[in-house]
Amino acid sequence: MARIVGIDLGTTNSLVAFMDGERPRIIPAATGARMTPSVVGLDARGRLLVGDAAKGQLTVAPERTVAEVKRLMGSAERVRLGERTYSPTEISALVLRALKEDAERFFGEAVDEAVVTVPAYFTDAQRQATKDAGQLAGLRVDRILNEPTAAALAYGLDHLDKEQTVVVYDLGGGTFDVSVLEMYEGVLEVKASAGNNRLGGGDFDRSLADWIFEEMERTHAVDARRDPRLRARVLSAAEEAKRQLSGSEAAIVSLGGIAVRGGAPVSFEVEVSRRTLEERIEPLVRSTLESVRSALADAKVEARGVAEVVLVGGSSRVPLVRRMVAELFGKEPRRGVDPDEAVALGAAVQAGLKTGAISAQTGIMITDVCPFTLGVEVSATAGSQIVGGMFSPIIPRNSTVPVSRTEIYATAGDQQRVVEVRVFQGDARMVRNNVFLGQYTVEGIPPGPKGSQKVAITFSYDINGILQVTTKVLSTGKEASITIDKSPERMSIEERTSSAARLDREWAPGRPAGAAASTLAAPTPAAAPPAAEAAAAPEGELLAAGKRRLAGLPAAQAAELGAVITALEQAMKAGDRAAVARHEARLTDVLFALE
């Protein structure tokens, strides 16, 4: 049977995993790193970069680099990389393609199918965009899995014999989800989900960056927001400080070359305390707890009745998050589940269930829910007035899927021959406050007084979050239907074909043989160890810029720059991702100080 992998397509980082026997396992990138940054860029020669190579140039070439594109999925926005523009779906496809090549290098054979995870609160348009991205990457994505559900699968694999209520709190780089699950006899039943698909650790970074901007302007009269490169450096420094503050009470933010005055570069340094960070992000963390309470209420579960709280997503490592979650539930969140890897491992478990790699004797089964209320627009009578634009729910939120529900409606006007069916998701009473999903027209209704003709509308929602709407005129049996998978922002078949051809052309033009997958080279046989492949990879743009700058420098400056370059090269050869990030940040500062 063909290989099926599980992929966590994250806002900040992405991972790919597979079933190794009956245990899920992460597939490393060509560099040996277990995570691939969800960053895409173009180098100075117009070649595509994905992952660490792209992240390395984020602070020096922000105009040619993009991160956190997951937040734009399902929208009509365009992403600019230099002179080129891409859709969010195309950018995500490039990340998926890099992961696909890592898997093919690992197995030494083709991989053409994946289970891909999405936030539980992703809309239908966002889910469809994710499936399209998989197709553009050369992957068949028959199964879309909610991220907290995937994390629950990874957790549940070792707790099949327990009967308990579990909450999965998933705070990633750009999205937040929470799911309440019941576990019994190998069954993981999702009872309710809630969340915010525009809240995550990136918001923590930006909040801390705002404080750094203010300090820089107060102490040095420099407005970093006006300089794209300096702004990118501040955001990167804020992210690093946030990470340090998870393990210490204070961190130093040091940036060289923020300005030039009197012919000399100006440097900036400030100490930021954990308390400062927590004061700024506390409202954001508190907002996640409101979603938790909503999910608990929908599941009819008391916080103190939850047996285990599983924290997922890198941002759940922030001490304030752990503390506030512990206060809500009256217990410490469970440790032992890797927050960064749980979702990808769970996706691999789902892939294993599909292929039979996990035996029937294991007995694991999972059910999920529709996180949104789905319904149609209707007119209602209020006294002697007819009020339009009202929302009539058909499938309540947190209904177990797959689910099918039917409601009967009557014609709203005399001699009405046509019914316009407009589909929405949300919980507001007026459709203008909900999300429009699609519409279609039912014609040929026999004319008569208002209310004389009845129309049955059936909503069917499947495990991938795809909605099928069918309308039947009861007096004639005439039917019409629509599958809500063609939002205005979704690519047409022709657009997907054209986009796939374009990405194929741009994928690896002029790449030398043996280049690493992180720079989008064509697949190579799975023979070289990670360190050797990293050593064979072409120089990153940042490293190349450093070497070019060496020429003509005074001896002291050349020695300082040369030492940083050497340290970065050694870290890249060793495949030490953390050291690479540190030395890249240092090299960036040195280069800016030299300008």
Q: How does pLDDT run across 204-224, given as a tens digit for each residue?
A: 999 999 999 999 999 999 999
Q: Is 407 left (phi over 0), alpha (psi -120 to 50) or beta?
A: beta
- Mean of the per-residue pLDDT values of the chain: 86
* Segment among 191-200, 228-237, 548-557 with least mean pLDDT: 548-557
Q: What average pLDDT does range 41-56 have in this prediction? A: 90
261-286 per-position pLDDT tens digit = 888 889 999 999 999 999 999 999 99
**Residue of 187, 198, 165 whose CA lies nearest to 74:** 198
AA letter at 464: N
Confidence label for 593 from pLDDT (cuts 50, 70 and 90): low
The two three-digit tokens of residue 192, written as one number: 């309710």
Catalytic residue among 124, 132, 170, 377: 170
Catalytic residue among 43, 52, 70, 341: 70
Q: What average pLDDT does range 483-499 have in this prediction? A: 74
73-83 per-position pLDDT tens digit = 988 899 999 99
Residue 70 is a catalytic residue = yes
Residue 114 has pLDDT above 70, yes or no: yes
Confidence label for 535 from pLDDT (cuts 50, 70 and 90): very low
Confidence label for 538 from pLDDT (cuts 50, 70 and 90): very low
119-173 per-position pLDDT tens digit = 988 888 888 899 999 999 999 998 999 999 999 888 887 777 788 999 999 999 9
89-101 per-position pLDDT tens digit = 999 999 999 999 9
The two three-digit tokens of residue 204, written as one number: 């923590």
Q: What is the model's pLDDT at position 489?
A: 61
Residue 36 has pLDDT above 90, yes or no: yes
Residue 502 has pLDDT above 80, yes or no: yes
Residue 303 has pLDDT above 80, yes or no: yes
Pairwise CA distance, residues 467 & 374, whole Å: 9
Asked if 183 and 166 count as a contact pair (C-beta separation under 8 A), the reply is: yes
Q: What is the model's pLDDT at position 537?
A: 37
3-state secondary structure 186-246: CEEEEEEEEEECCCCHHHHHHHHHHHHHHHHHHHHCCCHHHCHHHHHHHHHHHHHHHHHHC
Q: What is the model's pLDDT at position 367?
A: 87
Token pair 């209707």: residue: 378
Residue 369 has pLDDT above 60, yes or no: yes
Measured CA distances, 461 to 124, 396, 400, 405, 440 (Å): 11, 11, 10, 9, 18
Confidence label for 358 from pLDDT (cuts 50, 70 and 90): confident
Q: What is the model's pLDDT at position 383?
A: 65
Residue 205 is a catalytic residue = no
Asked if 450 and 138 count as a contact pair (C-beta separation under 8 A), the reply is: no
Catalytic residue among 8, 90, 298, 341: 8
**Residue of 114, 202, 102, 96 whose CA lies nearest to 150:** 114
CATH code for 372-476?
2.60.34.10
Enumerate the domain spans of the chain.
Answer: 372-476, 539-594
Residue 170 is a catalytic residue = yes
β partners of residue 251: 272
Tell me the pTM.
Answer: 0.80
Q: Which residue has the higher pLDDT, 532 or 366?
A: 366
Pairwise CA distance, residues 66 & 80, whole Å: 8
Cα dihedral value 199, 202, 204, 205, nearest 10? -160
Confidence label for 512 from pLDDT (cuts 50, 70 and 90): very low
Q: What is the model's pLDDT at position 516?
A: 40
Q: What average pLDDT does range 11-16 have in this prediction? A: 96
Q: What is the model's pLDDT at position 514?
A: 33
Residue 13 has pLDDT above 90, yes or no: yes
Confidence label for 518 from pLDDT (cuts 50, 70 and 90): very low
Q: What is the model's pLDDT at position 567?
A: 79
Residue 378 has pLDDT above 50, yes or no: yes
Q: What is the model's pLDDT at position 159?
A: 76
Helix H or strand E segment including 475: none
Residue 147 is a catalytic residue = yes
- For 358, the 3-state DSSP assignment is coil
173-198 per-position pLDDT tens digit = 999 999 999 988 888 899 999 999 88
Q: What is the model's pLDDT at position 361?
A: 63
Helix H or strand E segment including 297: helix 274-299
Q: What is the model's pLDDT at position 5?
A: 97
AA letter at 409: Y
**Residue of 576, 564, 502 whose CA lies nearest to 94:** 502
413-453 per-position pLDDT tens digit = 889 999 999 999 999 999 999 988 888 888 889 999 988 99
Q: Say if strands 385-395 and 374-382 run parallel, antiparallel, or are unpaired.
A: antiparallel
Using a pLDDT cut of 90, give the percent of the chain over it: 58
Using a pLDDT cut of 70, give the percent of the chain over it: 89
Catalytic residue among 147, 298, 341, 489: 147
AA letter at 157: L
49-88 per-position pLDDT tens digit = 999 989 988 888 999 999 999 999 988 899 999 999 999 9
- For 472, the 3-state DSSP assignment is strand
CA angle 323, 329, 331 (to 5 degrees): 70
202 burial class (0-12, 13-18, 19+ CB within 10 angstroms)? buried
Q: Which residue has the higher pLDDT, 439 or 515?
A: 439
Confidence label for 526 from pLDDT (cuts 50, 70 and 90): very low
Q: What is the model's pLDDT at position 541?
A: 67
DSSP state, 430?
Answer: B
